[in-house]
Amino acid sequence: MPQHASRDSVTQDPALRPRLLFTDLDGSLLDHHSYDWSPARPWLARLKRLGVPVIPVTSKTRSEIVPLRRAMGLADTPFIAENGAVAGLPPAWCHARLDRGPGPDGLVIKTLGVDIGFIRKRLAVWRERLDVAFTTMSEMSLEELTDFTGLAEPEARLARMREGSEPLIWADDDDGLVAFREGLEGDGLRLVRGGRFWHVTGESHKGSAVSWLIERFQALRGSRPLSLGLGDGPNDIAMLESVDQAVVIRGCHGLEVSPKQPALYRSEATGPAGWAEGVAYWWGRADRRVIPAEAPATHRRVGHEAPGEAA
């Protein structure tokens, strides 16, 4: 049970609750190899019609997300960048008392984690002290980065514009990794596994950032939303544990992803096809699956329409 799910929020008619969808990008909404999202397009269009925000929660940087969210039709929704270190808020998500005015791109940017300068300083310290081998993204040449990620050069440039986390490729043994992780923890830093990179971040993670956005929504709208989360990597686990319903999208990486989440669906398909499969599982059949054990018969609507369209 997510920590925020009170008795009230569970018993409230789920069809009447506002909804938020939180999604990982690489390997989830975007294909791991081609970065294509066309299998998810019908659901993205449908959710937009229904007024359900689709909120990217990703290891990507703000600079990478801003053009991407425009291309995907998500310019009106918030986003979480760098594994929870940075949040971007469009005007409708801003709070007059809590936020300063938006920047030139119309977004208010909140730093939820620690500064990139501190992370880089500590990485240098631990590399020397433990004599371990790794390559950070900022140390890779543009060519190495495009080779390793499959990104085109302009996108790879944006990927290097870090604000609150540093990706790295580990090139040492498991014992070294344990010692490295412990050293970072002493600095208040965390090491999380993504699809391609390890990511060094502050105490914030995808889960804490998602909880922060849910609270923000509640502060602005006065009601707790029903939340769905989708992801394919170990760095998505905290996010998948912070939402009411979750989808683990079949990964291309062979890593275990097992969130403590009773309302969990595992997709058969990978990438955006698995994403569409997961959204359809939870929200494609009216509200039968929202609270299956407790729902009175009158709440069990049969059909394959998305919520709000059935009426």
Q: Which positions touch Mg ion (CB under 5 A)?
A: 24, 26-27, 195, 232-233
Q: Which helix (H) or strand (E) holds 264?
A: strand 264-270
Minimum CB separation from Mg ion for residue 226, in Å?
23
Give the nearer residue to Mg ion in terms of CB position, either 166 or 287.
Answer: 166
Is 271 strand, coil or helix? helix
Minimum CB separation from Mg ion for residue 98, in Å?
30
Question: What tokens were used for 201?
Answer: 């971040």
Q: What angle separates helix 116-130 from helix 174-186, to the nearest 10 degrees?
A: 130
Measure the CA–CA gap between 64 and 44, rounded to whole angstroms: 20
**CA count, 13 A, side-chain hemisphere, 133:** 3
User: Are residues 295 and 15 in contact, defined by beta-carbon separation less than 8 angstroms?
Assistant: no
Is 74 strand, coil or helix? coil
Residue count of the chain, please give it: 311
Give the nearer residue to Mg ion in terms of CB position, either 26 or 166.
Answer: 26
What are the Cα distances from residue 147, in Å, to 105, 139, 143, 144, 150?
Answer: 30, 14, 6, 5, 6
User: Are residues 27 and 60 in contact, defined by beta-carbon separation less than 8 angstroms?
Assistant: no
First-last CA distance in the chain: 29
Closest to 60 in 3D by CA, of 27, 101, 105: 27
User: Are residues 234 and 255 in contact, defined by beta-carbon separation less than 8 angstroms?
Assistant: yes
Give the nearer residue to Mg ion in terms of CB position, either 251 or 284.
Answer: 251
Measure the CA–CA gap between 254 and 231, rounded to whole angstroms: 14
Give the nearer residue to Mg ion in terms of CB position, either 183 or 195.
Answer: 195
| Cross-strand bridge partners of residue 135 | 169
Give the nearer residue to Mg ion in terms of CB position, either 165 or 291.
Answer: 165
The catalytically annotated residue of 13, 24, 105, 115 is 24
Residue 172 annotated to the active site:
no
Please list the active-site residues: 24
